[in-house]
Structure 1
Amino acid sequence: MDAASCGWVARRRACWLSSRKGDLLPQNTPPEEWGWATCEPPFCGQLLFKGSKPVPPRVFFEQGFKPLWSPGDVLRGLAKPFFVFTREFFHPLDQCQGSSAAAVQRFHADSRRFPAAAYEEASLLWRQSEWRVPAPDERSMMMGDGYPAGVNSWGSVVNLLRLQFDRVVIPENVWALTGQNLECCNLRLPQAFAAFQRGRGQQWHHLPPRPLLARDRAEIFAGNSGQRYASDTSKGLDHLLPPGLGKSAHMSEAMRLPSPFAAKPWPEADISFLNETLRVAPAKNPAFIAVVTALLRWPDLTQAQSFLFGLPIVGDVPFSGVFRNIHEAAHDVEEPSAWLEREGSQVVDDLLTEGPPKDHDVILRGETDRLFGHGKWRPLERFVISQPDGKQRVIDNARKTGHNAHTQMLETIHTVSVDFVASCSRDALHTLFAGNHDLSPPACDWLLLLRLGTDDLPDAYRGHPVAEEHLRFSVISVWVPGCGWRFSVLWGLAYGLEAAVVAFNRLPLLGIAACRRMASSFCAAYFDDELSLEFVRDADVSQRGLHLVFGLMGSPPQPAKRFWAAANRCYLGTSVHVGQACSEGTIRVQPKTSSVQKVVAKLGAALESKRLSRDEAGKLRGDVQWLFASCHGAWARFAGPVLQRCQYGDDPVLAERDLLVLSALRSMAQMARPRDIEVWSPPPPCMLIYTDASFEDDQLRLGWVIFAPPPYKPLGGTCAVPPQVVREWLPRRQQIFPGEALCLLILPLLYPHVLEGHDLLWFIDNAAAVSAAVKAASAQEDVFEIVHMACLLRARLGCRSWFEWVGSDSNPSDGLSRLGIANIWTCGQPWWLEEVGFPPKAFRSTLRTALLRV
C-alpha cells in the first residue's frame, strides 16, 4: 500500500490483509473507493485509493501555515505528497544526496531534525515566505487521525483537577477512581471548540472568554442601529477616510466606501463555533465545575475551590483571568486589618446611636448568630428598594460603610445586551445560506424557526459563600422596630459589595462557555438572567443544554421563572420579537409596556407635585435611558439638562419651562416606537452629504453638497443666516460651532423628500459639531436644542446617520459656505446650485416651542 494515494503523504508499506472471511486478495472485491493495481513479485497486488476526495478530507494546520499544493492535486498526480514521516533526531549528512540546495540549506537551519528530503518545498508548510515542518499533531492527522490532536487526555484532566483543589486533602484512591471514570468518557467531543480554534490557527491552549470592549459594542450597535460614538473619541470606530485627500479625491473615495451600517459578526469565537455546528448539524457542584474548567482550558482555576473555602469580599481580590483587566487599579488601598483597628468599634458605637434607616418597617428581622469581639468586625448597613413589579429588595450599603473603598479589584465584568439576539441570528443565517442573495431567507423546514427562551439562576449572590476569614466583614445591620439595631452574619455574598459583582459572574460566565462549547447552545447571561436562542424547529436545543450544564454545576435554573422558547419574549426589560427573522429578515425590539407605564407614572407625579428630588431624578434618568435604549436612544437625552440639574442640584422645585420639558418627555415615552433590526439584507448605499459653516465679518453662512441618488443631480446649496438668529444664541466670540450644528437642522427642513428613507454618510469639518451630532446632545444649551431637534427630524424621516470629520481642504462644501454659488471651484462642478432663504422653523424661539410640542 502507498499512503500517497490518499492525497497527503508518501508511505509505501508491505502488509498482509485478512479478515474473518479470509485473506484479502486481488481476486476479491476491494472496499468502496479502493482498487487493485498490478505489482511486481513477490507481492501479489497493490491496494490503491481511487476516491475523489482525500483521506482524511481535511487537515487542520496551525498558525495559518499550509502546504503549497492541495491534496486533490496529489490524487490527480499533479503534485508530490509530503516526504515520508520519520522520527525526529539529529540526522547524518549522508542523506543529502538527491536533495536540492535549498532543501539542504533548510535541513541545516532546522538542526537536521528530519531527513534532508523532508525540507523540499512540497514537504513543508508555508505562510508567505515563512516555512516549517509539520507538527506532530498535524502529521498524525495526515496519517488518518481525522480529529485534531492535542486533546486533553483523562490523565491531563486529572492533573488539572488536582491543581484546582490544591488546598483540599483528597485520598489517592479518589483520584484513581476519577481517572478510571474519565477514561470511559468521550473527552474529545467536549473539547471540540479547542479543535475548532486550533484549526483556524487561533490560540487554543488557553480559552478564556473574550471581553466585549467598547469598540466591540460600537461595531455591534452600528450594524444593528447606527453610530454610537464619534470617531475621535476613545470608544469610537476609526475614521472612514484618511485626512488630506483633497476635495475631488475625498468625494471619489467616499462614494466607493461600503456602508458604515454593514453588520459585523459577533466577536466571540464560540458563537462562530456554534454557527458551524448548525451547518453540520441547591449547593454548587465544585467537582463538575472543576472538570468543565479543565476540559474548556479555562484560566479561572480557583473558582471550584472557592465554593469550598469561600470568596474574599474586601482587600486584594485575586485575579480570575476571565474578565477585562483594570489597568488603572489603585495601589494604596488600606489593609482591612488596619481599617478595623482604626475605626472598627467607633463605627458600631455610632450606628447604635442612629435612628432607623429609610423604609425600615419593611425589613424583616435578621437573627444575629454571633459577633467577632469588640472592634474586630465591620457591619454593612441594610436598606430597601422597591422594584417596578412591587417586589422589595434589600441592599447592603457597602459604599457607605467603606467596604468597597477597602477593596482592590484587578478586573471588571462585561455584560451582554439584547443586540446579542440580532447579531447571532444574522451570523447564523449568513453561515447557513452563504452566497444567497434572495430578498428573504430561504425556507428550511427542519431547521429555521427562531425562538427565544429565558431562565433565572437560583440564589444569585446568596449561593456564593464568603471566605471564613472575611466573615467579620460580612455582618449585616438590621433595624428591628422596638428593639433598635441588631446584627447577623451573612454567609453568602451581599448585594452592594463591589467584590461580589466579579465573584458571582465567574459562575455564569463559565456556565455559558460550557453551554456554547460543549452543548451547542446559543445562550448568553446578564448576571443571573439567562437567554437561549433556538434555531432548530420543534427542539429546544439551546435551552435544554443550558439546563443540563447549570444543573450539573449545582445551579439549576428556577422552574418558576422559566420561559420556554417562543417568538416573543422579554429580556432585560425589553420585548424582543424574533418571529419574522426567518420570513422577513427582521427582529423587532421595543420597551415593555410596564417600562413605559413606569416612566409615564413617574413623570406624571413630578408634573403634579412640581418637584423632583435628587433621588427621584437619578432613578427617573436611569429609567428613561433604559426605556429609549430599546427604540430611539437619542430621545433619552431630551430632558437630560433638567434631570441632571435636579439630580445634582439642591433645589427640587421645577420651573415652568422644566414642567414643559417633562411634559414633552412624557409624550415621547407614550409614543416610543419599536426598533426594527435587519438581519438578512445588506444595508443600502449611503447618501453622501458635506456641510460647512463660515463666520466672517459677523456674517454666518452655511454651505452643503448632497449627493442624492438618481434621478437627482448632486445638489449644492448655501444659505445666509440672519443676524437675529445668531443673537438668540448664547454670546460667543465666534459662532462657528452652532453654525456647523445648524446645518444638521437646515437640511431636513429644506429637503425632507430627498433625505427620507435613506442612510446618510455626513461629513463635517468641525470635530465638536460631529460629537454633538452623534450624541444628539451638547453641554451648550442652544447647540443642544439644534442637534436634538435635528435628530428628531431625521428619525421622523426614517434616516440613519453616520457622522464623520473631514478636513476643510477636503470638504467640497467649503467654498459654498464662504462665497456661496459665486465660488469658482464650485461653479466648475456638475452640480445643481441654489441659494435658499433661511427657514423660519430654525429660529431658536420657534425651535424651543417645537421641542416642547414633540
Structure 2
Amino acid sequence: MGQPLMKWIKSLNITGVALDGNHESHRFKSGLLPAGSKLLRSENRGGGKWFCVFGVFWDPLSFVEEARRLWHPFDSLAHLPDYLITALHEQLSLSPMDLTKLRLTRLKHWQDLAKSLRQKDATMKEQLHPDVQGILKGKHLALLAHLVDEIQWPDAHLLHELCQGFRLVGPANKSGVFRAGLVVASQDECQLMRRAPEIREGILKRLESEPMAEYAQELCDITREEADDKGWLEGPFSPDEVSDRLGEWLPVRRFAVRQGAKLRPIDDLRENEVNSCFSSVEKVTLSAMDHVLWSANILVAYFRDRGAYRFTLSTGQVLSGKVHHAWSDAGAELRMSSLDLKSAYKQLPLSPLDHNKSVVCLRNPRSMALECYIMKTLPFGGAASVPSFLRCSSLIHALGCRLGLCWSNYFDDFPVISHSLCASSTMACMVGFLKLLGFDHAKEKLLPFDVKAEVLGVQVDLTGAPKGVIQVKNKDSRVAELLPVLEAACRDKKVIPAHLPSFVGKLQYADAQIWGRAGRLALHDVRALAHTSKVPVSLDPSGLAALNLLKERFMRGRPRTLLASRGELPFLMFTDGALEEGQAKLGLPPATIGGLLLWPGRSQRAEYFGCAVPETVLEMWRADGKSHVIGLVELYAVVVGIRTWKSYFEGRRLLTFVDNYAALDVAIKGSASVKQWRDLLLLLECPDETSPTLMWHARVPSKSNPSDGPSRGDTSLMESFNAKRVTPVCPVTQDAEFPAILWLGNSPGSQLVAAAHTEFQQPRPAACGGMWFIVTLSLCYPCVGRHVGLAYETSPRHRFEALVFADDIVQS
C-alpha cells in the first residue's frame, strides 16, 4: 500500500556549514535547522565545510491538518492502473453509441495493422526454434510487438523472451509492471546441473517404489494426450533415451489435483530444485477483485449521481468530464461476465535451454514402465512460470483497456463489467480482440453478461446496483466443495502434506478475494509444510483458529456488502507503542500504547486512549526468550484501536497511521511468519462481518505522530483535538480495565486525590517548568489503595530520577 503523505514537511539544503566534530552527529553551529531535523545527504566541500540536505518532520498538529485533507486511496483510484482509469473515463464521458463506435474503430485499426504486418510476422516465426514455433504458431507476434510500442508498455524484454521461450532458472528481467520485491536463488544453474545425477537418481527411485495414486491412469492418459494431440510435450521416452537426447537432465514428478470433474496436472519443480535457481527483483501483485469491485463502485456511483468527475493518473495527468446523460437516464444497470484463457500456461513456450530441467516423469499403470516427456510449454508448478505468464496476461489486460474494456485480470481470468446498453458490443469486442492476437479462450466458460456472475471463485451480485448496492459472496459450489475440507482439517487438527496441493488449491481464493486476513493466516502454516510427505502433520493453535474462522464464515454464508459512493473523507486513526524497560525497575509499566481517532473532514469529534500493556500479555510475548518486543507492542496498539472503534467505521473508509515499520508491514500483509504476530492479527477477524471497513495502512514518522503522547501518558495535545478519553478492553485478556498512566501537575496533594477519583488531568508542563508527577494505577482501579507511585522528572527524555511510593495518600 502506498504512502498518502510525505514524511517531510520540507527539505533544507544548506551549503558551507561548519560541523562540530563528526558530521553524523547532526550538531551544527548554524541555527538554521528546526529541532529534530534529519540529515539525508551530505557532501564534503573541503575546508571543514559541508553541503547538507535535511528533512524537516511535520509536527503532529501540522501532520494531522494535512491528513484531514486526504481522500482514501480507493477514492483517488491510486490502486488502479492508469489504463483502467482511462477506460473508466471513456465509459463515463461517452454515450453508449459513441463508446461502441470508439471500440470498433480501434479494433478495426488493429485488424488493418495485423494485415499489413502479416509478412513480418511470418518472417519472425521462421527465425524461432522449432519447438517454440510450434507453441506460438497462432500468435500474431508482429502485431504484439507493434502494440507494445504503441501503448508504451514498460516491459521491454517481454516480446524477446516470448520468442525465445521463457526460462525457468536464473534472474528474471525487470518488467516494470510489478512492485519491487526480492526473490533470491539459493543456487545457480551450474550448481544445480552438477548435482543432476544425484537428484535424478533419487526422484526416479521414489517414482518406481511408490504405490500408484488412484488417479494414475487418468493422469497418464492426459499426459499422453498432451504429447500426441496438443504438442505440449514430446514423448514418451525411457530414461536412457532422454539421456541420449539431452545429456544431463532433471526429472519432474507429475501429480494431479481434482478440480470438480477435471483433473489438473501439476509438475513439481520444487522437488527437483529447479525453483531454487530462480531469482527476481519484483514481487507479483494480484489485485483483480479490488480492481473489478472498485471499477463497479465508480460506475455505479456516477451512473446514479451524474455530475462531474475528476480522475488523476499516476503521471499527474487529470482526466475530467461529466457523466453522459444517456447513462444516467438508463440508471446503473451494470452487468458482469468473465473470460478465461484456455490452457493458459500451455499457450506460452518454454526456452529450449530448459528442456533438460523439466522432463515430466510418471509410471504407466498398465505397463508399469517409467515414461518420460520433454516439456515444451510453461510448466504448471514452476516458480518462474508465474511471473512469466502474468507479464503476458498483464499486457493483454492493458491492451483490452486501451480498446475500451472495463476489465481486470487474475492469472488467466478476465472479469469484465459493462452497462446493459452495450453488453453485446462489449462481448463481441473482447472476443474479437483475443482472436486477433491469437490467444485462445475457453468458449464453454464464457457466459452472457448478467446481474449475477461467478468470477474468481466468488459470486458478484449487481442486482442492487441501481440502488447503489454491490454484494459479494462465496459461490455455492465452492462452499459445498470447501466446507467438508475445512471441517475435516478442524476436526482432525492435522493435514497430510502430500494432499496439500489439493487443499491449498481448494482454498486458493481465501487470501485473494473476500476473506482478507483470515484466508492468508489460515493458509500460512499449511503452505509452509513440505508437501511430499504422506505422514499427517498437526496444526498449531493459531492455524486451527484461522481455519475455524473460515469455517464459520462458510457456514453462515453472509455476503459482504459494498455501498457505492463517489467518495467520502476517511476516518483517521493514529496509534503508537512504547517499550521502556527501565520503567519496570521503578514500578511503572514497561510497555504502553496510545491511540487517537479523528472523525472525517472538519468534524470536531475525536477520541483517544492511553494505557499500559497488561503484564500477562507482555510475559506471553516474551515466553520464548525475546525481550525487545516493540513491534508486537506497536501492532497491539493497532489491534486495540481497530477493535475499540470498529463500530464507528464499519463499512466506511479508514486511514491508519503507524510509526513502526515492522507493525506496518504485518498490518498491510495481513499475515506473518511469527506466531505471536499472527495471533494478534486474528483478533481483527470477525465471522459476522458483512460490511468490511475500507482500510488503508500508512506510516507516520514518530516525531509527527499525535498518539505518541497518549502512549506515554501525555495528553496535552489531545486538548487541541477536543478529544474524549475512552477506556479500551484488552483483546487478549478481555479485561475491561488496563493499567493506566495519568500525567499530573506539580503538587501531589489535592490534585492527586482528584486524579484518583475522577479523570482530572493537567497538561504536561514545558521541559523547563520544573518538577511534575506521574500516578500509576493498578488493575484494581478505582480501588487504588496503596498502589500509587509518585515520580518526578527534570529531563525532557522521560527519564525518572526519583520514585517515592506514597502509602495511603489516596484511600479507596
Tell me if TM exceeds 0.5: yes
Structure 1 position 435 matched with structure 2 position 318: no
Q: Aligned partners of 1:338, 1:801: CA distance in 2, in Å?
A: 47
Select 1:788's aligned residue among 666, 678, 682. Answer: 682
Q: Is the 8 A contact 2:659 2:700 kept in 1?
A: yes
Match of 2:551 in 1: 666
- Residue 295 (structure 1) shift: 5.3
Q: Is the 8 A contact 1:494 1:500 kept in 2?
A: yes
Structure 1 position 537 matched with structure 2 position 426: no
Q: Aligned partners of 1:580, 1:654: CA distance in 2, in Å?
A: 41
Q: Secondary structure of the residue that 2:428 maps to in structure 1?
A: helix
Q: Is the 8 A contact 2:300 2:468 kept in 1?
A: no
Match of 1:418 in 2: 289
Q: Aligned partners of 2:192, 2:613: CA distance in 1, in Å?
A: 67
Q: Aligned partners of 1:683, 1:619: CA distance in 2, in Å?
A: 42
Q: Aligned partners of 1:436, 1:323: CA distance in 2, in Å?
A: 27
Match of 2:510 in 1: 627
- Residue 604 (structure 1) shift: 1.6
Post-superposition Cα deviations, 1:435-463, rounded to whole Å, max 9, x if no partner, equal: 269xx997535696422222333444445
Select 1:294's aligned residue among 130, 146, 154. Answer: 146
Select 1:682's aligned residue among 557, 562, 567. Answer: 567
Match of 1:606 in 2: 489
Match of 1:189 in 2: none
Q: Aligned partners of 1:406, 1:597: CA distance in 2, in Å?
A: 39
Q: Is the 8 A contact 2:576 2:593 kept in 1?
A: yes
Q: Secondary structure of the residue that 1:444 maps to in structure 2?
A: helix
Structure 1 position 388 matched with structure 2 position 254: no
1:684–1:597 distance in 2 versus 1, CA, 3 Å? farther
What is the aligned-residue identity percentage?
Answer: 19
Select 2:341's aligned residue among 452, 457, 460. Answer: 457
Q: Is the 8 A contact 1:613 1:647 kept in 2?
A: no
Match of 2:588 in 1: 699
Match of 2:127 in 1: none
Post-superposition Cα deviations, 1:549-568, rounded to whole Å, max 9, x if no partner, equal: 32234444333222122222
Match of 1:575 in 2: 459
Structure 2: which amino acid aligns with 1:831?
A: N
Q: Aligned partners of 2:139, 2:388: CA distance in 1, in Å?
A: 18
Q: Is the 8 A contact 1:755 1:797 kept in 2?
A: no
Structure 2: which amino acid aligns with 1:571?
A: V
Structure 1: which amino acid aligns with 2:266?
A: I
Q: Secondary structure of the residue that 2:494 maps to in structure 1?
A: coil
Alignment of 1:247-286 (within 5 A): 247-264=60-77, 267-275=80-88, 277-278=90-91, 279-280=93-94, 281=98
Post-superposition Cα deviations, 1:3-38, rounded to whole Å, max 9, x if no partner, equal: xxxxxxxxxxxxxxxxxxxxxxxxxxxxxxxxxxxx
Structure 1 position 244 matched with structure 2 position 133: no
Q: Aligned partners of 2:399, 2:424: CA distance in 1, in Å?
A: 17
Select 1:496's aligned residue among 360, 381, 402. Answer: 381
Q: Aligned partners of 2:200, 2:613: CA distance in 1, in Å?
A: 69
Q: Secondary structure of the residue that 1:540 maps to in structure 2?
A: helix
Greater Cα offset, 403-412 or 556-565: 403-412
Q: Secondary structure of the residue that 2:510 maps to in structure 1?
A: helix
Structure 1 position 831 matched with structure 2 position 722: yes
Match of 2:430 in 1: 546
Structure 1: which amino acid aligns with 2:568?
A: P
Structure 2: which amino acid aligns with 1:297?
A: D
1:793–1:843 distance in 2 versus 1, CA, 3 Å? farther
Structure ID, larger Rg: 1
Q: Is the 8 A contact 1:340 1:376 kept in 2?
A: no
- Residue 479 (structure 1) shift: 0.6
Structure 2: which amino acid aligns with 1:789?
A: L
- Residue 394 (structure 1) shift: 1.7
1:385–1:274 distance in 2 versus 1, CA, 3 Å? same
1:362–1:769 distance in 2 versus 1, CA, 3 Å? same
Post-superposition Cα deviations, 1:641-688, rounded to whole Å, max 9, x if no partner, equal: 765786699872457897666445422443365444455421234255
Structure 1 position 480 matched with structure 2 position 364: yes
Structure 2: which amino acid aligns with 1:593?
A: D
Q: Aligned partners of 1:575, 1:736: CA distance in 2, in Å?
A: 41
Q: Aligned partners of 1:723, 1:331: CA distance in 2, in Å?
A: 42
Q: Aligned partners of 2:660, 2:512: CA distance in 1, in Å?
A: 27
Select 1:363's aligned residue among 219, 236, 242. Answer: 219
Report how many residues are paired.
603
- Residue 304 (structure 1) shift: 8.8
Q: Aligned partners of 1:344, 1:789: CA distance in 2, in Å?
A: 44
1:615–1:269 distance in 2 versus 1, CA, 3 Å? same
Q: Is the 8 A contact 1:479 1:485 kept in 2?
A: yes
Alignment of 1:509-528 (within 5 A): 511-517=396-402, 519-528=403-412
Q: Is the 8 A contact 1:586 1:679 kept in 2?
A: yes
Post-superposition Cα deviations, 1:728-761, rounded to whole Å, max 9, x if no partner, equal: 6545657765555554455566667666665444
Post-superposition Cα deviations, 1:471-491, rounded to whole Å, max 9, x if no partner, equal: 666653231124321234555
1:685–1:567 distance in 2 versus 1, CA, 3 Å? same
Higher relative contact order (CA 8 A, sep 6+): 2
Structure 2: which amino acid aligns with 1:394?
A: P
Greater Cα offset, 693-702 or 650-659: 650-659
Q: Aligned partners of 1:448, 1:293: CA distance in 2, in Å?
A: 38
1:756–1:414 distance in 2 versus 1, CA, 3 Å? closer
Structure 1: which amino acid aligns with 2:263?
A: Q
Structure 2: which amino acid aligns with 1:606?
A: A
Match of 2:244 in 1: 374
Q: Is the 8 A contact 1:702 1:720 kept in 2?
A: yes
1:536–1:492 distance in 2 versus 1, CA, 3 Å? same
Q: Is the 8 A contact 1:455 1:557 kept in 2?
A: yes
Structure-1-length-normalised TM-score = 0.57
Q: Secondary structure of the residue that 2:441 maps to in structure 1?
A: coil
Structure 2: any 5+ residue segments left out of the alignment? 6-54, 99-133, 229-234, 311-322, 738-812
Alignment of 1:87-486 (within 5 A): 244-264=57-77, 267-275=80-88, 277-278=90-91, 279-280=93-94, 281=98, 288-294=140-146, 297=149, 311=165, 333-334=188-189, 354-355=209-210, 358-359=213-214, 360-365=216-221, 366=224, 368=235, 371=241, 374=244, 376-377=246-247, 378=249, 380-401=251-272, 404=275, 417-425=288-296, 433=306, 435=308, 443-445=327-329, 449-464=333-348, 475-481=359-365, 482-486=367-371
Match of 2:746 in 1: none
Q: Is the 8 A contact 2:200 2:250 kept in 1?
A: no
Q: Secondary structure of the residue that 1:274 maps to in structure 2?
A: helix
C-alpha RMSD of the superposition = 5.3
Greater Cα offset, 453-462 or 406-415: 406-415
Structure 2: which amino acid aligns with 1:311?
A: G
Q: Is the 8 A contact 1:465 1:492 kept in 2?
A: yes
Q: Secondary structure of the residue that 2:269 maps to in structure 1?
A: coil
- Residue 803 (structure 1) shift: 4.5
Post-superposition Cα deviations, 1:582-615, rounded to whole Å, max 9, x if no partner, equal: x234533332233334432122212443432334
Q: Secondary structure of the residue that 2:453 maps to in structure 1?
A: strand
Q: Is the 8 A contact 1:761 1:801 kept in 2?
A: yes
